[in-house]
Amino acid sequence: MRKKSLWAGLLVGFWFCLTWMAWTPTAAAFSEEQKLLLQSWRLVNQSYYDDTFNHQNWWQVREQFIKKPLNDRTAAYNAIEQMLATLDEPFTRLLRPDQYHNLQISTTGELSGVGLQININPDNGYLEVVAPLAGSPAEAAGLTSHDRILFIDGIDTTTLTLDAAAAKMRGTPGTEVSLVILPDQKSQPKTLSLTRQRISLSPVVAVLDKNSSSLPIGYVRLNQFSANAAKEVSEAVTNLQKQGAKGYILDLRNNPGGLLQAGIEIARMWINQGTIVYTVNREGIADSFAASGNALTDSPLVVLVNQGTASASEILAGALQDNQRGVLVGEKTFGKGLIQSLFELPDGAGLAITVAKYETPAHHDIHKLGIMPDQVVAQEPITYQEIGTEKDSQYQTAIQFLNQKTVLAKAS
């Protein structure tokens, strides 16, 4: 049951909120650039999940930055970014107008680039891969979760913000971008040249597998939690039921997350009763979202996860595991348990602010820890075309579970 409000995260979900600052007569003396900085400061002051603001006096930070010469909008943006950097937390950040626009597109339609979901590792500050998008140039090049990206077109990524790095990899289809990748600390860096292409963000692939099992298996692959993901999953499960599916495999591998609400709605398609996720704000107040009693099926379910399963994917996987609705097979998940809200600024820019953390129904905080599957199956990276084949050992293990009927087949 939804108790109070809907938190939405940037990699977990999005809540678009147009917030206008109420100016006092004294504030009228500020320039437009100063007002933009003050509004950004106020949004963080009101919403940021850490009320110590990284153990600093947030008011003094305001006074320090408002005294900077803000002669134009670029100077204001730079000052806001420097101010947010004092929080030492990469998910709270400014999105300049083009970045904000691209972020909106990525949850609704398609984009042009190499197809990488990326993250700045909060422990070491390095840019790394969360997951490649299915069928993308990045996937074809063999990039996998936790690969470190050292350079983009010769630019040291330690000098770039997360959004600046993403912007450098996007571009016109047919153009090339050079990446220097460090797969692990035991390997040598390697240089890859990737050709950008238009990437469809259709989130769902569904097929009935009649050959691998003694019973018809409905395979549903969810690539990300975009605005239409819940609708497409619902349609996929309904169609598979009509085709005679008696068990399901829900593939969340390399799914980096997306909209929180989409994750909650999809969880409700599998679970009739029970909590789906808890969110905890800076006051320690827990909000919760629960099943609605409208599960589409109570057939046996196996969920595939790996190191690229992140954020909203972990919310869904954790809900299914803790409610004993499905068996998780694969590798430990990525471990992103912070939630961002996205606020739109008056000039078309946006501010992503970490407002809460989430916990699974059993109150597991998975941030930096991930979720351990019920059946660990390590697997070398496979291509998109090899998913569901004999080379996909995680998929084959899921089929074995369903054939043995060891999966708990209940929705409540």
The full set of domain ranges for the chain reads: 32-89, 112-198, 204-411
d(CA 284, CA 276): 18
**Range 181-190 contact pairs with CB under 8 angstroms and sequence separation of 24 or more:** 181/143, 181/147, 181/148, 181/149, 181/150, 182/147, 182/148, 182/150, 183/144, 183/147, 183/148, 184/146, 189/150
Strand partners, 248: 218, 301
- Catalytic positions, please? 311, 322, 336
405 — pLDDT class (breaks 50, 70, 90): low
Q: Are 128 and 180 in contact (CB under 8 A)?
A: no
| 18: nearest Cα among 257, 347, 305, 335 | 347
Q: What is the mean pLDDT of residues 225-240?
A: 92
What is the reported pTM?
A: 0.73
Burial 33-64 (b: 16+ CB within 10 A, else e): bbbbbbbbbebbeebbbeeebeeeebeebbee
Q: What does the chain come to in residues?
A: 412
Torsion angle of the four alpha carbons 305, 311, 316, 321, in this order, in degrees rounded to the nearest 10: 60
Residue 86 region, left (φ>0) first, then alpha (ψ -120 to 50), else beta? Answer: alpha
Distance of CA 184 to the CA centre of its chain: 23
Classified by CATH at the fold level, domain 32-89 comes out as Transcription Regulator spoIIAA (3.30.750)
Instruction: Considering only residues 411 and 149, tell me which one the structure prediction assigns the higher pLDDT.
Output: 149
Q: What pLDDT is attached to residue 200?
A: 66
Average pLDDT over residues 216-230: 91
CATH class of 112-198: mainly beta
Which two tokens mark 261?
A: 């609400």
Name the token pair of 138: 């990045």
> Which pLDDT band, with edges at 50, 70 and 90, does 21 fall under?
very low
> For 204-411, CATH number?
3.90.226.10
The answer to whether 333 touches 291, Cβ cutoff 8 Å, is no
What are the pLDDT digits (tens) for 350-392? 999 999 999 999 999 999 899 999 999 999 888 777 889 999 9
Contact 411, 272 (CB under 8 A): yes
Residue (of 3, 14, 4) closest to 339 by Cα position = 14
The β-bridge partners of 327 are 302
Give the tens place of pLDDT for each residue, 155-183.
999 999 887 898 899 888 899 999 999 98
pLDDT of residue 110: 56
Percent of the chain exceeding pLDDT 70 equals 89
